[in-house]
């Protein structure tokens, strides 16, 4: 018969013999005497109380530093090796980092290009040319271009000359410029076409929408 | 701090941390060191006759072995058992190297100490320091297997199953050694026996 089982050990680590229940005493006496129980109980209790459950000792701080050096020496290989300069990264982690970065870049690119471009609502009042003719003009966006200010000034100068020369023409162009920064301007060229006599402008769309290039953001001009 | 798979290091099991260590993850190694360094230091302290300097050296050597042999660790087995097995073998090798095993239990006369009182009843006069020294002294006189079994169970709190794996013996053998050691110690440390009344 096994004389030292876990149940006996549990009792020995617990209460003194005198404090045990009747059934526990009966169980113990099947294996050992009361005197033996008391001696063994005291040794175990003293051992457990003395040594406790946590260690009172502390490792030296230098051990952790030495272990870190040894760990780096074993697991981290140099990314490239020059005499004066040496970067070390863990090989597997480097590969994972590069892969993760590449995936993130691709994701960012696809998200960026699939984002809807900001739009500008251009409210253009119906243009009336030659009021005596009661013509109403419906504006249409001809083009949207990014232009440098120098270019715009040139074009305006040319158009001004042209306009003076061709002022009899019904079809005219107007421009709305939306400025995003000092270096580049967004030019909206709108063509106004006559849509008929005595036509109610409200029967047409109140404004125009146009896709603005992504480089121009936060446009809030109507 | 999070590990690569999003789980916190302190919530990962020892075996999961070992897998990360093999991949070169130093944070995982730091966590394992934090979990086991104190207990292993205490283990060496008990096994090496309470020599603190030597225990610190052995602790460092033990974790250097963990770094060197990490790729040999079988993740299907428990890390704790692997660690204690290496530690026990280190102590065994040390015993073989050192010819004389003994313990300095103090420069006072035990007989004189106990003759000062009729009984050194545990309930009345329990001196932890004295008990520790005497217990260490008596354990060092026992067979290495018996003393190691006792320390692993009641000082390092390993289970019977874990001890049997560390010491490469059956659970029955572990229980038998424990019982023998307790019985032996209770005779050797009779001064703490309430039944041993002085005349």
User: CB burial class (10 A; 0-12, 13-18, 19+) of residue B61?
Assistant: middle
Comparing A158 with B97, the larger pLDDT belongs to: B97
More confident residue, A59 or A46: A59
CA B162 to chain centre: 13
Segment among B102-106, B161-165, B176-180 with least mean pLDDT? B102-106
| Mean pLDDT along residues B103-121 | 44
Percent of chain A with pLDDT over 70: 41
The pLDDT, as a whole number, for residue A49 is 81
Mean pLDDT, rounded, for B186-197: 69
| d(C-alpha B63, C-alpha B28), whole Å | 13
- Token pair for A203: 């029967």
Burial class (CB in 10 A: 0-12, 13-18, 19+), A75: buried
Q: Which residue of A has its CA nearest to B43?
A: A55
pLDDT category of residue B23 using cuts at 50, 70 and 90 = very high
Most confident of A105-114, A188-197, B109-118: A105-114
Look at residue B122 and tell me whether its pLDDT is greater than 80.
no
Minimal CA separation from A118 to chain B, in Å? 36
> Mean of the pLDDT values across residues A131-136?
48
For B48-69, write each residue's pLDDT tens digit: 888 999 999 999 999 999 999 9
Contacts with B23 (C-beta within 8 Å, 6 or more apart), sequence order: A90, A92, A93
ipTM for this prediction: 0.79
Q: Bigger pLDDT: A182 or B102?
A: B102
Q: Which residue from A12, A57, A70 is facing B41, i.e. has the nearest CB?
A: A57
What is the interface size between A and B, counted as CB pairs within 8 Å? 112
By the 8 A CB rule, do B149 and A45 touch? Answer: no
> Which range is least confidently modeled, A6-10, A179-183, A192-196, B159-163?
A179-183
Local confidence band at B78 (pLDDT 50, 70, 90 cut-offs)? very high
CA–CA gap between residue A201 and residue B36 (Å, rounded): 83
Q: What is the mean pLDDT of residues A146-161?
A: 65
CA angle (B130 as vertex; A39, A8 as ends), nearest 5: 25
Question: Which tokens belong to B27?
Answer: 């944070």
Closest CA to B24 of B61, B85, B67, B87: B67
User: Is there a contact between B28 and B12 (Cβ–Cβ < 8 Å)?
Assistant: yes
**Residue B126 in this model has a pLDDT that exceeds 90:** no
d(CA A26, CA A23): 5
Residue A170 and residue A194 in contact, taking contact as beta carbons nearer than 8 Å:
yes
What would the mean pLDDT of B147-171 be, rounded to a whole number?
93
DSSP 3-state of B190: helix
Rounded to the nearest 5°, which phi and psi values hold at A190?
-120, 135
Residue B113 pLDDT exceeds 70 = no
The per-residue pLDDT for B150 is: 93
Q: Is B60 in contact with A63 (Cβ distance < 8 A)?
A: yes
Nearest to A67 among B41, B67, B189 (CB): B67
Residue A67 pLDDT level (bands cut at 50, 70, 90): very high
Q: Answer yes or no: is pLDDT of A221 > 60.
A: no
Ranges A81-95, A196-210, B4-18, most confident: B4-18
Give the distance from residue B179's alpha carbon to the nearest chain A alpha carbon, in angstroms: 6
Q: What is the mean pLDDT of chain B?
A: 82
Query: Counting Cβ atoms within 10 Å, is residue A220 exposed (0-12), middle (13-18) or buried (19+)?
Result: exposed
Listed in sequence order, the residues at least 6 apart from A181 whose beta carbon sits closer than 8 Å to its beta carbon are none
Helix (H, G, I), strand (E, B) or coil at B5: coil
What integer best gives the mean pLDDT of chain A? 68
Tell me which residues of chain A, numbers 47 to 86, contact chain B at a CB-CB cutoff of 8 Å: 47-51, 53-60, 63-64, 66-68, 70-72, 74-76
pLDDT of residue B136: 79
pLDDT value at B121 more than 50: no
Q: Which residues of chain A are within 8 Å of residue B25 when distances are taken between CB atoms?
A: 90, 93
> How is residue A175 written in tokens?
């421009």
Residues contacting B36, CB < 8 A, separation 6+: B80, B83
pLDDT (mean) for A192-206: 52
Taking phi first (over 0 means left), then psi (-120 to 50 degrees means alpha), and beta for anything else, what does residue B84 get? alpha
d(CA B136, CA B49): 7
Q: What is the pLDDT of residues A1-15, one digit of tens each?
A: 456 788 999 999 999
Question: What phi, psi does A71 have (nearest 5°)?
Answer: -65, -45
pLDDT exceeds cutoff 90 at B80: yes
A188/B78: higher pLDDT: B78
Residue B137: how many CA atoms within 13 Å on its side-chain side? 12
């Amino acid at each position: 018969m096994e004389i030292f089982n876990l149940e006996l050990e549990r009792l020995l680590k617990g209460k003194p013999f005198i404090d045990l229940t009747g059934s526990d005493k009966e169980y113990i006496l099947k294996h050992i005497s009361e005197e033996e129980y008391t001696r063994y109980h005291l040794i175990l209790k003293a051992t457990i109380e003395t040594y406790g459950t946590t260690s009172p000792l502390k490792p030296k701080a230098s051990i952790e530093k030495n272990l870190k050096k040894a760990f780096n020496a074993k697991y981290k290989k140099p990314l490239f090796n020059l005499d004066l300069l040496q970067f070390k990264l863990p090989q597997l982690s480097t590969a994972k980092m590069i892969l993760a970065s590449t995936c993130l870049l691709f994701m960012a690119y696809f998200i960026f290009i699939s984002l809807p471009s900001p739009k500008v609502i251009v409210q253009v009042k119906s243009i009336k040319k030659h009021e005596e003719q009661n013509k109403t003009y419906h504006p249409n966006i001809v083009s949207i271009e990014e232009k440098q200010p120098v270019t715009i000034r040139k074009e305006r100068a040319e158009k001004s000359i042209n306009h003076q020369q061709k002022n009899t023409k019904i079809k005219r162009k107007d421009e709305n410029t939306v400025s995003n920064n000092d270096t580049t301007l967004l030019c909206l060229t709108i063509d106004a076409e006559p849509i008929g006599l005595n036509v109610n402008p409200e029967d047409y769309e109140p404004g125009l929408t146009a896709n603005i290039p992504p480089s121009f953001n936060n446009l809030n001009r109507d | 701090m999070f590990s690569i798979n999003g789980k916190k290091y302190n919530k990962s099991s020892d075996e999961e941390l070992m897998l990360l260590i093999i991949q070169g993850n130093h944070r995982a190694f730091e966590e394992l060191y934090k979990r086991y360094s104190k207990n292993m230091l205490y283990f060496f302290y008990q096994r090496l006759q309470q020599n603190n300097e030597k225990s610190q050296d052995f602790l460092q050597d033990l974790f250097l072995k963990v770094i060197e042999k990490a790729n040999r660790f079988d993740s299907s087995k428990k890390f704790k058992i692997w660690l204690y097995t290496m530690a026990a073998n280190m102590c065994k090798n040390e015993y073989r190297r050192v010819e004389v095993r003994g313990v300095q239990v103090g420069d006072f006369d035990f007989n004189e100490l106990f003759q000062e009182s009729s009984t050194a009843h545990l309930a009345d006069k329990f001196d932890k320091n004295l008990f520790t020294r005497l217990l260490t002294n008596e354990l060092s006189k026992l067979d290495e297997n018996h003393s190691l079994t006792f320390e692993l169970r009641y000082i390092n709190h390993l289970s019977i199953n874990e001890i049997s794996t560390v010491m490469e013996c059956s659970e029955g053998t572990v229980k038998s050694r424990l019982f023998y050691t307790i019985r032996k110690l209770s005779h050797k440390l009779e001064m703490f026996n309430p039944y041993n009344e002085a005349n």
